[in-house]
A and B are shown apart, each in its own frame.
Chain A
Amino acid sequence: MDIFANLALGFGVALTPFNLLMCLIGVLLGTLIGVLPGVGPVATIAMLLPITFNLNPIAALIMLAGIYYGAQYGGSTTAILVNLPGESSSVVTCLDGYQMARQGRAGPALATAALGSFFAGCIATLIVAMFAPPLAEVALKFGPAEYFSLMVLGLVAAVVLAHGSLLKAIAMVILGLLLGLIGTDVNSGVLRFAFGISELADGIGFVTVAMGMFGLAEIIANLEHQGTREVFTKKVTHLWPTKEDWKRIWAPILRGTFLGSALGILPGGGALLASFGAYTLEKKVSKYSREFGKGAIEGVAAPESANNAGAQTSFIPLLTLGIPSNAVMALMIGAMMIQGIAPGPQVMTERPQLFWGMIASMWVGNLMLVVLNLPLIGMWIKLLTVPYRILYPSILVFMAIGVFSLSNNPFDVLLMGLFGLLGYVCVKLECEPAPMILGFILGPLMEENLRRAMLLSRGDPLTFIQKPISAGFIIASVILLVIIALPQLRKKRAEVFVEEV
């Protein structure tokens, strides 16, 4: 079979000492920036771009890719330990991961995240290797109508993310949607809700909102307990998942990997939905759904697997079509162009060494990451024993640096502060930030695709049900809505959503 010859070629490239070193540097850097809150792969890759000028293209891309998926590993660490999502994909990891940490189970949570990510990374890499060209065609099948319907499904599912009151969850989704309206209207170019502030012209950055709503709000809330912050390190029992844990996580990891691989292929928000989708799915199918939001290990396993699988398969549209699916991929295109490689359909045939070398390096990189991360778990746990008065100010500093580095603008730091206050108010009102974040991410995408689809259909809304893929998502959303809304199912819904504290 061709695939073996190709993979052999790929590993031949990836396993040369120099490329191995580049891969190692990439994943090390990725882990590091993933752990530092707010400093994301976009800023890091941008800063490293000039260094890659002098490398050969394969080594450069192997290193940059390593930073990207390395950050996915590292991002979950702060999400679990201190409730700080560094990446959009680790927002849901906060929900149960942080609760696990509070219960003294940070070790198993971190191990689950690392192992789940590794497994997902391996499977997804295999999928990229075997099915990249046909899957690229799937990406092309998704037009504005299909994206809109997918987002509708995602938004309906967002309500399931909450484990408190349904009404509050819907209110938070709507708040997120409203915040997402800020910025330049795509169709007309008019500024909306910018109040003459040019920094708001491009809308509010996701990282700014997430840092404020999760991290900063958590720190403020902790200040209330004077000097008696929950000391969850004393309760640490073991670092590794127990036998019981293993039994509970293997199926969520599988499902998360599958869902993440599928959604990662879609440029424009697909990979973003992966972790949210995986969490929602688990909450629906797991027999432990009552524990979700209170430290269910499935709630860490599924989204972590999904986001890493999605990170790998999002290379498919990049490598086969030259379409970047997110900001990091856009940077990779920049890196390729600097090297004189025009990203596009011909990369695979004209530069098989680059294409297969990169795929093989992803597998190697994932292995390095798991080897790197498992021993680090003990060290991360130790971090929690650092006194509050030292740990949290340093986190604040890192957060401020990270948010500043997004566009070198102090305005973003101020904005993060505002969202911290809003987050604290939400904590007090027992309104959860996760549905808001999802609304905030999906809202603009939904609006953009809705209006584009309507422009293309010249105002005919039937376009959403005339296209089979789109119709499928709409039907699924309706079914989900019915389940949530039907009065006779209310009791069942109560079981699913409301967990008394």
Chain B
Amino acid sequence: MRQFLACVVLLAAAGGAAAQAWPAKPIRLIAPYAAGGPIDISARLLAPKLQQALGQPVLVENRPGAGGNIGADFVAKSAPDGYTLVIGAIATHAINPWLFAAMPYDPIRDFRPVALIVQVPNVLVVNNELPARSVKDLIALAKARPGKLDFASGSTGSTGHLAGEMFKLMTGTYMVHIPYKGAAPAVTDLMAGRVHLMFDNLASALPNVKAGKVRALAVTTRQRSGFLPELPTLDEAGLKGFEMTTWWGVMAPAKTPDAVVQRLNAEIFKALELADVKERLRAMGSETPAVRTPQAFSAFVASELKTYGELVKRSGAKPD
């Protein structure tokens, strides 16, 4: 009986939003990165909740490759009917367009941002042997030993790399960038003392900071992080205006109907408020984003794209 009632309620709900009868078939949510990474995990967290709310299966599909471009491009070229969505990220929509010589899609014109779901700060961490105890110490050290300090990152053009370049530009110091294949081997060399510092994302840095294997000096966001409240922001530490967060969110192909985008946005934010989702996203270092409407998300993507364009150009991170 309860099941029957649930069905009725569900049908009624579906009927209410059924001006355009969406969704009438399963929805594909493309994660443009390998399974098991934070973007894949958040997609898989969200999918069952959306499925419940929308009454249609929501299937997560990994289409990794080319820094996320393959998956993003697939969605850019899909029908704008609300049945193919992608997790667009800072890499696919703000950094790659400046790094790749030939982009298969336009990050602004080909997409309709739906909902920003995760924002994670980066943390400036140094190895324990480095005498610097604060950002001020570090700048002094970098100035006293130009070209002697190494900063590691998960890959060329990653937020960790670009944060380092931004740091160099703002402080007028010179440090050598050591790129790795993924953050894990970079963190290993940081712990072992082979590289001096790194702008690591909060989730991966946190356990090592808490275990005392590396020392955190600052966060890259404008606001302090709830996970390490005693840690100053780089902005507070003297680098006025320093701001950088790793983010990702659900996007649809351009020309996806407005009603679908609004409905999705509403359901996604309802899901993000659920206790278990919140808790698991917090475990990845994310606090609920302040950008909430599709319009605000669009504006956010546009401004990020602009910021990183300048940074990539000025830092010389562009390959050719």
Q: Which residues of B contact A338 (CB under 8 A)?
A: 41, 45, 280, 283
Check A345 against B35 for contact (C-beta < 8 Å): no
Kindly provide the distance from the CB of A55 to the nearest chain B CB, expressed in whole angstroms. Answer: 13
Decide if B194 is an interface residue (CB 8 Å cutoff): yes
Q: For residues 93 through 110 of chain B, which have their beta carbon under 8 Å from a beta carbon of chain A? A: 99, 101-102, 104
Q: Within 8 Å CB of B70, what residues of A?
A: 198-199, 201, 407, 409
Enumerate chain B residues within 8 angstroms of A251, measured Cβ to Cβ. none
Flag the segment in A88-96, A169-177, A215-223, A318-326 that touches B.
A318-326
Interface residues of B in 170-193 (CB under 8 A from A): 176, 178-182, 184-185, 187-189, 191-192
Chain A residues whose C-beta falls within 8 Å of the C-beta of B207 in the assembled complex:
322, 342-346
Q: Let me know if B239 is at the binding interface, CB within 8 A.
A: no
Q: Judging by beta carbons under 8 Å apart, are A187 and B156 in contact?
A: yes
Q: What 1/0 flags go to A432-448 for Cβ under 8 Å of B?
A: 00000000000000001
Q: Which residues of A contact B283 (CB under 8 A)?
A: 337-340, 342
A456 to B176: give the CA distance in the assembly, Å. Answer: 9
Task: Kindly state whether residue A43 has any CB partner on chain B within 8 Å.
Answer: yes
In the bound complex, residues from chain B placing their C-beta under 8 Å from that of A143 are 189, 192, 194
Contact pattern, A 168-204, Cβ under 8 Å of B = 1, otherwise 0 = 0000000000000000111111110000101101100
Given the known interface contacts A186-B181, A346-B210, the answer about A144 and B189 at a Cβ–Cβ threshold of 8 Å is yes
Contact partner of A407 among B65, B180, B317, CB < 8 A? B65
- Bound Cα distance from A198 to B317, whole angstroms: 20
Task: Mark interface residues in B183-211 (1 if CB within 8 Å of A CB, else 0).
Answer: 01101110110110000000100111011
Residues from chain A with Cβ under 8 Å of B61 in the complex: 408
Chain A interface residue count, Cβ-Cβ cutoff 8 angstroms: 55
Instruction: Contact check, B319 vs A43: say whether CB atoms are below 8 A apart.
Output: no
B67 interface contact, C-beta 8 A: yes
What is the CB-to-nearest-CB distance from A481 to chain B, in angstroms, rounded to a whole number? 28
For A185, the chain B residues whose CB sits under 8 A away are 319
Report the separation of the CA atoms of residues A233 and B284 in the bound assembly, to the nearest whole angstrom: 53
Does B35 contact A335, Cβ atoms closer than 8 Å? no
- The listed residue (A201, A344, A407, A448) touching B63 by CB distance below 8 A is A407
Q: Return B178 CB to nearest CB of chain A, in Å.
A: 5
A72 vs B35: C-alpha distance when bound (angstroms): 20
B134 touches A (CB below 8 Å): no
Question: Is residue B293 within 8 Å, beta carbon to beta carbon, of the partner chain?
Answer: no
A248 at the interface (CB under 8 A from B): no
B221 within 8 A of A: no
From A187, A189, A323, A458, name the one whose CB has the most chain B CB atoms within 10 angstroms: A189
Q: How far is the CA of A455 from the CA of B317 in the complex (A)?
A: 16
CA distance A104 to B282 in the complex (A): 57
Of the candidates B45, B48, B176, B319, the one whose C-beta lies within 8 Å of that of A189 is B319
Q: In the complex, how many angstroms separate the beta carbon of A139 from the nearest chain B beta carbon?
A: 7
Q: Which of B35, B187, B189 touches A43 (beta carbons < 8 Å)?
A: B35
**9-residue interface stretch from A5-13, A45-53, A272-280:** A45-53
Q: Taking CB as reference atom, which chain A residue is nearest B284?
A: A337
Inside 8 A of A378's CB, which chain B residues have their CB? none
With an 8 A cutoff between CB atoms, is B320 at the interface?
yes
In the bound complex, residues from chain A placing their C-beta under 8 Å from that of B65 are 198-199, 201-202, 407, 409
A345 to B62, CA, bound (A): 30
| Chain B positions within 8 Å of A346 at CB level | 207, 210-211
Q: Which of chain B's residues 280-320 have a Cβ closer than 8 Å to chain A?
A: 280, 283-284, 317, 319-320
- A84 to nearest B CB, angstroms? 23
Q: In the complex, A201→B104 CA distance in Å?
A: 13
Cβ contacts under 8 Å, B229 to chain A = none
- Residues of A close to B104: CB separation below 8 A: 198
Inter-chain CA distance A187–B319, complex, in Å, is 9
By the criterion CB–CB under 8 Å, are B99 and A189 in contact? yes
Q: Do B62 and A408 touch across chains, with their CB atoms under 8 A apart?
A: yes
Residues of A near B41 (CB, < 8 A) are 49, 334, 337-338
Instruction: Tell me the bound Cα distance from A339 to B207 in angstroms.
Output: 14
Contacts of B176 in A (CB 8 A): 455, 458
Any chain A CB within 8 A of the CB of B117?
A: no
Docked-complex contact A202 and B64, CB < 8 angstroms: yes
Q: Is B279 an interface residue (CB 8 A)?
A: yes
Chain B residues lying within 8 Å of A465, measured Cβ to Cβ, are none
Q: Indicate which residue in B62, B182, B208 contacts A344 across the interface (CB closer than 8 Å).
A: B208
Residues of B within 8 A of A344 (CB): 207-208, 210-211, 213
* A141 at the binding interface (Cβ < 8 Å): yes
**Chain A proximity mask over B227-245: 1 for CB below 8 Å, otherwise 0:** 0000000000000000000
Q: Please, which residues of chain B bring their CB within 8 A of the CB of A43? A: 35
- Cα separation A324 to B187 with both chains bound (whole Å): 11
Enumerate A407-423 residues with CB–CB distance to B below 8 Å.
407-409
Tell me the smallest distance from the CB of B98 to a CB of chain A, in Å.
Answer: 11
User: Would you call B81 an interface residue if the criterion is a C-beta within 8 Å of the partner chain's C-beta atoms?
Assistant: no
In the complex, whether B113 has a CB less than 8 A from a CB of chain A is no
| In the complex, the 3 A-B pairs of residues with the closest C-beta atoms, listed nearest first | A46-B35, A344-B207, A334-B36
Apart from A139-B188, A334-B38, list 16 A-B contacts with CB within 8 A: A50-B44, A50-B47, A53-B280, A186-B180, A188-B156, A190-B319, A190-B320, A198-B69, A199-B66, A324-B184, A337-B41, A340-B280, A340-B283, A344-B213, A345-B213, A452-B178
